[in-house]
A and B are shown apart, each in its own frame.
Chain A
């Protein structure tokens, strides 16, 4: 007799919290600017008091015009993001057209909702989604950001948002520095500053690692598509931020 429920992947998780079984990804920030959106994430993953990874990547291009960043249980988040990428690409190929930006956000919300059971046991993952809306009437307002809750709620954010353990500090930094309609370069700088502030006050968020040359992952989505800043470009901005903080540690 077949008993598929006994296969390793199908056995129910034991009751109780399992939050400490895998590494956790931490802070992601996103902000809109004149040309589109910027998203950046630090490179640290933690397991309790230990640093599980110094160079994990948590910000990805979901497709040609949108970005997704993950916070929470790293393994679940990376799997979720991979599935999301495949879904968007599959839809595009089958239908011959991309999903609308809001359609992508709603799809991602459903995927989060499906993880609710595991999330309640501690394996939670929350993404941040941002993209360039190719259908927007006004290209100056085509950059959009969506945040999610664990139960599948999807909320469009104005201007900027952050998720993860350091998000409190990152959002506070952006609240004081962000202005609507900033240029893409200013946006990249603001995101880097916000991550620096998060790393400054949150132990689970990693700052720019000048010794190992590991810098936050910074991605942009504009009319030209989604793009990741090269390590040299991200490094230049990160080093400039650190240099300025030597004179004024508060930014």
Chain B
């Protein structure tokens, strides 16, 4: 009979943590930050069909980095829980806190009970009526849950990105300023010889939870709506004063190669229809 070697629990946990951390650091990053009009998600993602950022519920969004099958699994579980709660009770009874809590339980159980931990890090964000009321939760592979005010950077060289973000983030930023800060922070790492990289619209996945919309607030910003937000600031744009907001929906998205593009990404069919 094969002899089982003794490994201390500390050693096992350390090994698992290291394994998960390595997996997460290999991927590209996602940043989440609050701005005056809501919560902004920006991910480095060349795919238009496989999303790193998505909608969980009316005012709750989800962003994740790591292994795709694992994060998709978690996302679907979150959507299921949110929809079931909203149907059983009321749409207002679905909160980011309870979803984050459920994710923490799941990830914690997987980390201790399974031989391979999930190589994911996720963010559950809820947009409030005012920037101070926004909630950003970070969940790591071991099920630990943190409430982080203002900004979150995950995956890749998250620490370096986070420094850039935190130094320049203000809760009263316009959408344009927030997008530019997010893109600069993502581009601040990974360049040749420490030089910043320039990220194009085709390399980015951008979405917002729009504070002022009733009902489903999640909206992807793509194509023609994204380009002006990324363009370097010119004198006229600054003087104009009006921040460029995402296109008013519901609207059929620009024709795209992916079936996902047909989705309006979130409109509220019952904004004033249901009692």
Are A and B associated in one complex? yes
Query: Per DSSP, are chain B's interface residues mostly helix, strand or loop, or mixed?
Result: loop
Q: Cβ of B274 and Cβ of A60 under 8 Å apart?
A: yes
Q: Cβ of A89 and Cβ of B83 under 8 Å apart?
A: yes
Chain B residues whose CB sits within 8 angstroms of the CB of A228 once the complex forms: 272-273
Chain A residues whose CB sits within 8 angstroms of the CB of B193 once the complex forms: none
**In this assembly, does B262 line the interface, its C-beta being within 8 Å of a C-beta of chain A?**
yes
Chain A residues whose CB sits within 8 angstroms of the CB of B49 once the complex forms: 96
**In this assembly, does A64 line the interface, its C-beta being within 8 Å of a C-beta of chain B?**
yes
Q: Cβ of B262 and Cβ of A93 under 8 Å apart?
A: no
Interface residues of A in 22-72 (CB under 8 A from B): 57, 59-65
Q: Cβ of A60 and Cβ of B270 under 8 Å apart?
A: yes
Cα A219 to Cα B251 with chains together (Å): 17
Q: Cβ of B272 and Cβ of A64 under 8 Å apart?
A: no
Cα A223 to Cα B49 with chains together (Å): 23
Query: Per DSSP, are chain A's interface residues mostly helix, strand or loop, or mixed?
Result: mixed
* CB closest residue in chain A, given B267: A64
Q: Cβ of B250 and Cβ of A96 under 8 Å apart?
A: no
Q: Cβ of B87 and Cβ of A82 under 8 Å apart?
A: yes
**In this assembly, does B240 line the interface, its C-beta being within 8 Å of a C-beta of chain A?**
no
Interface residues of B in 210-241 (CB under 8 A from A): 216
Q: Cβ of A94 and Cβ of B252 under 8 Å apart?
A: no
Cα A90 to Cα B250 with chains together (Å): 17
Chain B residues whose CB sits within 8 angstroms of the CB of A90 once the complex forms: 79-80, 83
Answer whether A93 and B273 are a contact pair too, CB < 8 Å, given A98-B263, A134-B252: no
Answer whether A225 and B87 are a contact pair too, CB < 8 Å, given A85-B270, A98-B263: no
* CB closest residue in chain B, given A82: B87
Cα A57 to Cα B272 with chains together (Å): 11
**In this assembly, does A246 line the interface, its C-beta being within 8 Å of a C-beta of chain B?**
no
Cα A57 to Cα B274 with chains together (Å): 8
**In this assembly, does A86 line the interface, its C-beta being within 8 Å of a C-beta of chain B?**
yes
Q: Which of B216, B250, B259, B273 touches A224 (beta carbons < 8 Å)?
A: B250
Q: How many residues of B contact A (CB 8 A)?
A: 28
Interface residues of A in 189-235 (CB under 8 A from B): 219, 223-226, 228
Q: Cβ of B263 and Cβ of A92 under 8 Å apart?
A: yes
**In this assembly, does B199 line the interface, its C-beta being within 8 Å of a C-beta of chain A?**
no
**In this assembly, does B46 line the interface, its C-beta being within 8 Å of a C-beta of chain A?**
no
**In this assembly, does A3 line the interface, its C-beta being within 8 Å of a C-beta of chain B?**
no
Q: Which of B55, B86, B250, B274 touches A64 (beta carbons < 8 Å)?
A: B250
* CB closest residue in chain A, given B57: A93
Q: Cβ of B264 and Cβ of A64 under 8 Å apart?
A: yes
Q: Cβ of A225 and Cβ of B264 under 8 Å apart?
A: yes
Distance to closest chain A CB from B38 (angstroms): 18
Chain A residues whose CB sits within 8 angstroms of the CB of B13 once the complex forms: none
Cα A233 to Cα B77 with chains together (Å): 42
Max chain B C-beta neighbours (<10 A), residue from A57, A83, A85, A93: A93
Chain A residues whose CB sits within 8 angstroms of the CB of B55 once the complex forms: 93
Cα A92 to Cα B263 with chains together (Å): 7
Q: Cβ of B273 and Cβ of A219 under 8 Å apart?
A: yes
Chain B residues whose CB sits within 8 angstroms of the CB of A225 once the complex forms: 249-251, 264, 267
Chain B residues whose CB sits within 8 angstroms of the CB of A97 once the complex forms: 259-260, 262-263
* CB closest residue in chain A, given B72: A94
Chain A residues whose CB sits within 8 angstroms of the CB of B259 once the complex forms: 96-97
Interface flags for B63-79 (1: CB within 8 Å of A; 0: not) read 00000000000001001
**In this assembly, does B275 line the interface, its C-beta being within 8 Å of a C-beta of chain A?**
yes
**In this assembly, does B140 line the interface, its C-beta being within 8 Å of a C-beta of chain A?**
no
**In this assembly, does B151 line the interface, its C-beta being within 8 Å of a C-beta of chain A?**
no
Chain B residues whose CB sits within 8 angstroms of the CB of A61 once the complex forms: 269-270, 273
Cα A34 to Cα B250 with chains together (Å): 19
Q: Which of A89, A92, A223 touches B252 (beta carbons < 8 Å)?
A: A223
Interface flags for B36-78 (1: CB within 8 Å of A; 0: not) read 0000000000000101001110000000000000000000100
- Residues of chain A whose beta carbon lies under 8 Å from any beta carbon of chain B: 57, 59-65, 82-83, 85-86, 89-90, 92-94, 96-98, 134-135, 219, 223-226, 228
Query: Can you identify 24 A-B contacts, CB atoms within 8 angstroms?
Result: A61-B269, A64-B249, A64-B264, A64-B269, A82-B274, A85-B269, A89-B83, A90-B79, A90-B80, A93-B55, A93-B79, A94-B79, A94-B80, A96-B49, A96-B259, A97-B259, A97-B262, A98-B264, A134-B252, A135-B262, A224-B250, A225-B264, A225-B267, A228-B272
- Other A-B contacts than A63-B269, A219-B273, A223-B252, 4 sampled, CB-CB below 8 A, are A63-B267, A93-B54, A97-B262, A224-B251
